[in-house]
Amino acid sequence: MILVMGPVDELVTAFFLAHLTATRREYVFVDERHLGTQVHLELDWRPGPPGAGKLTGAVRFPTWSVPLEQVSGIFSRLGTGGIEPPQTPGSLAQRAHAAALLDLFQGPVANRATAMLSNGSKPCQYAAILAAGLRVPDTLAGGAPWHWERFARGLEGDPVIKSVSDERSLVKQVSWEEARAAMRPGHPLPPHQFQQRIPGTNVRAHVVGAREVLACRAESLALDYRHPDMTGHTVRLRAMELPAPVADACRQLSRALGLELTGIDLIEPPGGSNSPADWVCLEVNTCPGFMWFEQHSGLPIARALADHLHPPLSSSC
């Protein structure tokens, strides 16, 4: 069975649970708010050669428990939804145990707590993106005004400015003159990220299990299609097939970051291309909100994820 952990009212958690229920999958759900009160995780790890049985334990509910041996895979949305879980020692301990379970569980986990960290700093992903054969836009993060000026003047057109971290920020296009006017003499420069604006079409590729690649084009005139309402533009998502070499690069990238579910933001060059070197990767979302993409493009992301976490009998024989 699949173990799902997250806040019950978080949209993606609720969407995936609804899919599991509708498709009659076997699952057990842990509401994050109940960790440490009604739900306890007990884990035992014995030294020895790697293999099944090394990690044992159970998810304990008040009147029943589920041995980890019965769990085939884990989907976690812990820490999402903006909830404020209890800060009692018991609750804090159980959330730490849940994070440990995500790292130590020997089956598929979407996603392991430590592997999700890379999205906390966009530059941390750039080396992996380049190694996978995809392009990264020319970028400058941090630096002095003379760095920024040299960088901005070396680009065709004005750069975009965006956050370095995974904090949500509206991507904006700014000229060097505007950036300079916003600087406050005597104050340290805020560490925003300047980036070359890339022409082309936004594409979101969801990679499941570093195997299945489900992609869609986001057709919009907005600079940041994730916030079309804030810019007065509309967005239309259409399912598409990535060229095989580009899909392979996405698989390689997910594997390199140790992730079983990724939302990779790409820009397809005008006119298209089969070469990954022509495709730009902006970032890899390590906790992707795939519901919106599935609902608007029809891509079967939840099904692919459920299949990965608990393979149907026909594919495991």
Positions that interact with another protein (CB under 8 A): 40-50, 57, 89, 92-93, 96-97, 99-100, 103-104, 114, 117-118, 120-124, 126-128, 130, 135-144, 147, 151, 163-167, 188, 190-192, 257
The radius of gyration of the chain's CA atoms, rounded to the nearest angstrom, is: 21
Nearer to another protein, 47 or 232 (CB): 47
Nearer to another protein, 117 or 221 (CB): 117
Rounded to whole angstroms, the Cα distance separating 225 from 217 reads: 11
Nearer to another protein, 138 or 149 (CB): 138
Nearest-approach distance from CB 29 to another protein, in angstroms? 20
Nearest-approach distance from CB 36 to another protein, in angstroms? 10
Give the CA-trace dihedral at 147, 153, 157, 163, to 10 degrees: 10
Rounded to whole angstroms, the Cα distance separating 206 from 212 reads: 8
Nearest-approach distance from CB 293 to another protein, in angstroms? 25
Q: Copy the structure tokens of residue 257.
A: 């970051």
Nearer to another protein, 58 or 309 (CB): 58
Residue 62: name the closest of 84, 86, 30, 87 by CA: 30
Nearer to another protein, 12 or 257 (CB): 257
Sign of CA dihedral 120, 126, 132, 133: positive
Q: Is 129 helix (H, G, I), strand (E, B) or coil?
A: helix
Find the DSSP H helices in 232-300.
Answer: 244-256, 290-297
Nearest-approach distance from CB 167 to another protein, in angstroms? 5
Nearest-approach distance from CB 166 to another protein, in angstroms? 8
